[in-house]
Structures are given as C-alpha cells and as structure tokens.
Chains A and B, each alone.
Chain A
Amino acid sequence: MLVFTLASVSLVFVIGIGLYYRSIPILNKLSWFDLLTKSAWKPMKGLFGFYPFIMGTLWVTAIAIIIALPLSIFTSLYLVEYAHAKIKRVLIPFVNLLSGIPPVIYGVWGVLFIVPLIQEHIAPHFIEFSTGYSVLAGGIVLAVMIFPLIVSIITEVLTTIPQDLKDASLSIGATKWETIKKVIIRKATPGIIAATVLAISRAFGETIAVLMVCGNNAVVPHSVFDTGYPLPALIANNYGEMMSIPLYDSALMFAALLLFIIILLFNIISRVILARLERNLTT
C-alpha cells in the first residue's frame, strides 16, 4: 500500500522530470527566453518560437473566463440564495451532467453550433468576413466546459456562509441583493478566487474541444474573430510528424512541460486557498 501510494504521488514529479528530460535537446539549443518570446514557428528550419501559441492560449482562456465567471457566480447565487429546494433539486443535476460530457462532444457542438453562429450572426456585425473558426468560438466552448467546475465550487463555498450573518444583514433592513453584495460576496471572495484559478488551469489544458474550433493558425490573434493556436492543440495536432523533423519532438515535449508547470502552480494555489477555507470553517 505504501508503495502504491508513494508511486502514484511521485507521479507528479516523474511526469515533470520525464518531460523536462525530453525537453533538454531543445533547451540546449535555445534559451527559455527565446522559446517563450520568439514568434517564428518553422520546425523545418529549426525555429521554435512559442509566443503565438502562448498568446493563443491566453486569448482563449481570457475569453472563456470573462464569459463563464459572471454567469457562474450569478447562477450559484441564484441556486443557493433564491431557488426553492425543488428547483434546486431539478437544476443541480443538469450542471453535473454538463461536467460529465466528454471534451470531444463539446468540440462537435462547437463545430456544428457555435462556429456557424459566429460566422453567420455575430461576426458580420463587426467585420467583413469570418469563417467562424476563431478564438471567440474556442472561448465560448471552453466557457461552457468550465461552468460546472466554477458553479460547483462557488455553490459549496456559498452554502458554508453562516446563516446568522445573512440574518443579521436582513434584519437591519437590507434587501436580499444588498446582503449578497455587501456580506455574502465579501465572505465568498477567497472561494471565488480559488474557483477562478482552478477554472483557468482547466481552460489552459483543454485540448480537443479548443483544437476543433480555433482554426489553428500559428499567428498571434489580434481580435476575437482571429484564429488562434493554443499550446495543447499544437501538441495534439503535430504528433504525427514530430518524429521525422529534428528537435520537433523535443519542442512538443517542451510545450507539454510548459503546460504542466503552469497548471501545477495554479492547482496548488487554488487547492491551498480551498483547504484553508475548509479549515477555517471547521475550527
């Protein structure tokens, strides 16, 4: 039992070390700084600049969070503070079902629904022409994917806020919304931050759904209707040819390492915040 436990816990380190080990060839040739800030991506000529992919990831993630966070906070507030027990019992299972849907299904939905929607109904209001395959499409699909994660954490945090606190605010004449605004949100802020950080790291790593709708062009996006090429999509898309070009496989493993490090940090931060919250409540 000890062996299994240690082995699976050390997986965190083994993955990191394994990916680092395979990234050494490219790190020997190019510095971290060059890899992260150069924007030329020409594997045939030995040019590996990750800047466009990092920007692609950031755009998609930012759009997803901007859409998902307010919607999820309002939904959680409604479910916890307003909804009848009956409505709650009906609605919460759907949020859970949403979290069970596999990424590839989100991708298919994105291709069939979101991409045409952007192409025909949203983009024409702003620009001349868009195929619909864009960072906006990726952001919307991702937003829907992270709804359940944010909603479930925030509802949990909200239900732990002591009723006395709410009663005190209501009894001195505050309306429900004023109580939410001045008491509940303030109390729930650490939980909301933790949920957001966790959602960002989920969005960073999501591969297939985003790959299917983002257009995958290795250029830095400048508007929401531009195509983007997030890091995970880069790894997934080029696996086939990575063995035939020198340093290519090392570059892709470096991309995986980059993802791994960022997500590791974000996860640890949010889990520590959540654990501290839990401890404060039990003591």
Chain B
Amino acid sequence: MIKRKIEELFFKVLMILATIIVTGSFFLIVGTIFSKGVPYMNLDMITKIPGGGFYIGKEGGVLNAIIGSLYIAGGATILGLIISIPVAIYINMYIDGKKFKSNLIRLAFDVLFGIPSIVYGAFGFLIMVYFGIRASLLGGIIAVTLLVIPILVRTLDEVIRTVPGELRDAALSLGATRWEAAKVILRQIRPGIFTAILLSFGRGIGDVASVLFTAGFSDNIPTSLHEPAATLPLAIFFQLGSPVEEVQGRAYASALILTIVVLIITVLAELLIKKFSKHKI
C-alpha cells in the first residue's frame, strides 16, 4: 500500500515539474528577450531607418524592417484570404454528402500546413526564377501567401463547421442558391474570419525561412512591389551576428518589437476564439 502511495506521489510531482518546465519555458524566452531588448529600445528605433550601412552603421533604427514586415504579412494575408474563403466555402457548401472527397481535401491542407517554411521559400524562389522576378517585396508576399493559405483554410473550415447545419438548410429551403446561403454563413462567422486573419498575420510576420530567399534585404523602406524589402525577423537574423554592439542592439530591439507584436496578436486571437465558442449554439 505504502509503495503504491509513494509511486502515486512520485509521478504526481513529476507531472507538476514537467508542467512547470513547459509553461516556464515561455517566461524564460520572453524574459530573455525583454531583458536584452529593453536597454536598446528608444524612439529612434521605431521611427528611423538604419544609418550608415546595415551591418556596421551605428545610428538609426529598424523602421525599414517594421514597414517591410507589415507590407509582407499584410499583403500575404489579404491575398491568402481572397483564395481561402472560396476554398473553405467550397469544402463545406458544395461537396457535402461526399465525405471522402472533402476529407481528402482537408488532408491535403493539413499536409500543406506541415510543410516547413524553408520549402515554401525554396519553392517561392523557383516561381520567381520562372517568372523572372528578383528578390523583392512581391517575391516575399508570394512566398508568405503560400505559407499562410493552409492556416487560413484550416481555421475558416473549422469555424464554418461550428455553424449549425440547420442554418444552411433553412436558407437553401427558402430557395436561396448555395452562394446566397454561403453569404449567410459568412456573416455568421465574421469573428472567426478575424481570428483567421490574426493567426495568418502572426505567422506571416514572424517567419524568416520563407522570405530569406524571396524578399531580399534593404535599408530603405520599399516604395514599389519590385524593390527588395527587409522584415523584422530578417533584421534580427542578419544583425545578430554583427561585431558592432549597436547593430547587435538593433537585433535585440527588433526581437523585442516582434515578440510584443506577436504576443498581442496571439492573445487577441485566443480571446476571439473564446468569445466565439461562447456564442456557439
């Protein structure tokens, strides 16, 4: 009996320790980024572009990377939505009854979701070579769009599936076309669409491997789609290895900015999901 009690206690302690390590690692990461990044944070950092060459120049901030990130993540999310909303509606509204077919399509998107961003980056690079596009804002947007489509489709699909089937059936029985019924459902899932946008934007803004080949890097803010663009993760990746302390500092500050942005996005998405599931019938 005692042995069983001890065994029970032992494993309970082990489980609590494991939980502390797993959740604690979050604080460890955020704590490290904050303690390194805060000393380098100032107004210049978010309002100026780097001065005097990005690898050695000591002045300025990372405005180029902030704007570039917004352009790329924003552009990719918009493009991705234009493609994903019809796909999600198609899976749920047009091929009902044929479970095998819709499940096969879902499997394809699950698999696409699992493909690493470096492969999307390499593939995006192939597309660019094929069409003769140089590393640019456009190239970055194309690669990140490929990356976020599976996220958008999966999230939208999941949200549409929470809408009760009666709603669609009611619309259809009143003589609405499938597309009209789809519009009713789209209105119903508006917060879900917003969640999908946040998740896609969060993934797009944080990814390096997909933009490494495709976006190029520049100290300036891009003014057209064909100019190379910097992003925050690229700024971190390239500047971290610099021998100049100020440049390294820019990497730390960029890491801090990126972490804060991504945390806000994730928290917002979490809250939305919670709110959404509360209203669910």
Are A177 and B8 interface neighbours, CB within 8 A?
yes
Give the shortest distance, in Å, between A98 (CB) and chain B (any CB). 5
- Write the B119-142 contact mask toward A (1 if CB under 8 angstroms, else 0): 111110111000000000000000
Bound Cα distance A12, B113 (Å): 10
B185 CB within 8 Å of chain A = no
Are A205 and B116 interface neighbours, CB within 8 A?
yes
Do A100 and B22 contact each other (CB < 8 Å), given the known contacts A19-B126, A259-B119?
no
Q: Which of B5, B21, B110, B206 lies in contact with A104, CB distance below 8 A?
A: B206
Give the shortest distance, in Å, between A83 (CB) and chain B (any CB). 8
Complex interface: chain B residues within 8 A of A268 (CB): 107, 111
Do A256 and B15 contact each other (CB < 8 Å), given the known contacts A100-B262, A102-B207, A236-B212?
no
Complex interface: chain A residues within 8 A of B255 (CB): 104-105, 108
Q: For B267, give the chain A residue with the smallest CB separation.
A: A97
Bound Cα distance A41, B260 (Å): 41
Are B111 and A267 interface neighbours, CB within 8 A?
yes
Are B236 and A205 interface neighbours, CB within 8 A?
no
Give the shortest distance, in Å, between B9 (CB) and chain A (any CB). 9
Q: Which of A109, A175, A180, A198 lies in contact with B32, CB distance below 8 A?
A: A109
Are B209 and A19 interface neighbours, CB within 8 A?
no
Q: For A104, give the chain B residue with the smallest CB separation.
A: B233
Classify chain B's interface size.
Answer: 35 or more
- Give the segment of A66-74, A128-136, A219-227 that binds chain B: A66-74
Are A236 and B14 interface neighbours, CB within 8 A?
no
Give the shortest distance, in Å, between B44 (CB) and chain A (any CB). 21
Give the shortest distance, in Å, between A113 (CB) and chain B (any CB). 5
Complex interface: chain A residues within 8 A of B118 (CB): 205, 207, 232, 235-236, 256, 259
A271 CB within 8 Å of chain B = yes
- Which residues of chain B (66-97) have a CB below 8 Å from chain A? 83-84, 86-87, 89-91, 94
Are A201 and B32 interface neighbours, CB within 8 A?
no
A158 CB within 8 Å of chain B = no
Give the shortest distance, in Å, between B161 (CB) and chain A (any CB). 12
Are A97 and B263 interface neighbours, CB within 8 A?
yes
A229 CB within 8 Å of chain B = no
- Which residues of chain B (258-277) have a CB below 8 Å from chain A? 258-259, 262-263, 265-267, 270
- Give the segment of A1-9, A48-56, A162-170 that binds chain B: A1-9
Describe B's contact surface by its main secondary structure: helix
Give the shortest distance, in Å, between B140 (CB) and chain A (any CB). 14
B28 CB within 8 Å of chain A = yes
B153 CB within 8 Å of chain A = yes
Complex interface: chain B residues within 8 A of A2 (CB): 90, 94
- Which residues of chain A (78-126) have a CB below 8 Å from chain B? 78-79, 82-83, 91, 93-98, 100-109, 111-113
A187 CB within 8 Å of chain B = no
Are B111 and A113 interface neighbours, CB within 8 A?
no
Are B240 and A212 interface neighbours, CB within 8 A?
yes
Are B122 and A235 interface neighbours, CB within 8 A?
yes
Which of B209, B240, B265 has the most C-beta atoms of chain A within 10 angstroms of its own C-beta? B209
Which of A2, A11, A176 has the most C-beta atoms of chain B within 10 angstroms of its own C-beta? A11
Complex interface: chain A residues within 8 A of B5 (CB): 175
Are B266 and A263 interface neighbours, CB within 8 A?
no
Are B266 and A256 interface neighbours, CB within 8 A?
no
B114 CB within 8 Å of chain A = yes
Are A75 and B22 interface neighbours, CB within 8 A?
yes
B197 CB within 8 Å of chain A = no
Give the shortest distance, in Å, between A247 (CB) and chain B (any CB). 16
- Write the B177-210 contact mask toward A (1 if CB under 8 angstroms, else 0): 0000000000000000000000000100111110
A-B contact pairs, 26 of them (CB 8 A): A4-B87, A7-B83, A8-B149, A9-B108, A18-B123, A19-B126, A70-B18, A71-B21, A71-B22, A75-B15, A78-B19, A82-B15, A93-B267, A94-B27, A97-B270, A101-B262, A103-B208, A105-B258, A105-B259, A175-B7, A178-B8, A204-B116, A205-B116, A205-B118, A236-B118, A239-B212
Instruction: Using CB atoms and an 8 Å cutoff, list the residues of chain A in contact with chain B.
Output: 1-2, 4-5, 7-9, 11-12, 15, 18-19, 22, 70-75, 77-79, 82-83, 91, 93-98, 100-109, 111-113, 144, 147, 151, 175-178, 180, 198, 201-202, 204-208, 212, 232, 235-236, 239, 252-253, 256, 259-260, 263-264, 266-268, 271-272, 275
Additional pairs, 10, CB under 8 Å, beyond known A75-B23, A207-B117: A8-B112, A74-B17, A78-B12, A91-B19, A105-B33, A177-B11, A204-B116, A232-B118, A259-B119, A271-B107
Closest 10 CB pairs of A and B: A205-B116, A102-B206, A100-B266, A74-B18, A78-B15, A267-B114, A256-B122, A1-B90, A1-B86, A207-B209
